[in-house]
Amino acid sequence: MPAKSQSQQKAAGAALSAKRGETKKSDLKGASKSMESSMSEKELEEMASTKRKGKPSHASS
């Protein structure tokens, strides 16, 4: 599932980093905190690796 916005992609990247042990889980906030616990490493990697060009800063609801 590709990221729909740049902020979603950044949150996935932060969650992926924590899941891999590269950063502390306690440093996560908001969406990245819930993503880390609810998504697999593969899902996070897929979302974080989405091309950023043409994506809005934030997803519209």
Q: CA-to-CA distance for 47 and 32, rounded, in angstroms?
A: 12
Question: Which residue, among 1, 7, 4, 10, has the nearest Cα to 48 in the 3D structure?
Answer: 10
DSSP category for residue 57: S
pLDDT tens sequence for the chain (61 residues): 788 888 889 999 999 999 999 999 999 999 999 999 999 999 999 988 888 777 777 776 5
> Whole-angstrom Cα distance, residue 32 to residue 26?
11
Residue labelled with tokens 């690796």: 49
Which amino acid is it at 18?
A
Whether the full predicted model's pTM is greater than 0.85, yes or no, is: no
SS3 state of residue 49 = coil
